[in-house]
Amino acid sequence: MRAIDFVYLPAPNLHWPHWWALAMKHCIPLFILCALSWVPTYASSGVVTGPPARSAASASRNSELPAELRTAWLGSPLKRFRHLVPERRALPSHISYYTQSGESLTIGGYRVTGISYGFYKDQLCCIELRVLGQANCQGLYSLMARAYGPSRALTSSSQQWVNPQVSLLYTEMPKGYATVVLSSTTLVAQYRADFLVPINTAV
């Protein structure tokens, strides 16, 4: 296995929310890829992860929520996007990350501090939202719960939603500082097949 370089946090005189947001931005992808590597096995296990039955009016209202979360963009080719700015990451990755200049940093009326788009083989593989503030974190979490139903706890600070098309991972650590990753189940499975050791494979 390749060694992973340590990521050094900014100098201690930086304001706490600022350097913590930077640390989350650069370090969280490693945890995310490990968590998302479980998706194909979990999604095919027969566990129902979709939302419960809703009334027609409720279903119509909630059908707009995935558009707010941009999950419909997953799988789109890189050439369809405009005004992308390459993003530097502290950890090497086969996924190329970009931000979109001039983009409104609100999701469903809740403020986010950053939106990053990750492309694998020139297709949008994942979208990363960074959120500060308890009200914004809880608002985003509620938005995902309304759109995709009950979540599954991965750890005390992480919740996951999975269906055949999309996986969502919400990590809040500490309280009031969250990272939300929306990813294509198909592209993550392809990434795992290309680069990660298969689960239960003897070394």
Say what the pTM is: 0.68
With the CA atoms of 46, 51, 52 and 56 taken in that order, what torsion angle do they form, in degrees rounded to the nearest 10? -140
Query: Token digits for 89?
Result: 């990451």
Longest CA–CA span in the chain (Å) reads 53
Confidence at residue 66, expressed as pLDDT on a 0 to 100 scale: 62
Confidence at residue 200, expressed as pLDDT on a 0 to 100 scale: 56
Confidence at residue 181, expressed as pLDDT on a 0 to 100 scale: 95
Confidence at residue 88, expressed as pLDDT on a 0 to 100 scale: 83
Confidence at residue 199, expressed as pLDDT on a 0 to 100 scale: 52
Confidence at residue 4, expressed as pLDDT on a 0 to 100 scale: 32
- Which of 191, 179, 192, 185 lies closest to 27, judged by CA? 179
The packing angle between helices 185-195 and 16-36, to 10°, is: 80
* pLDDT less than 70: residues of the chain: 1-67, 197-203
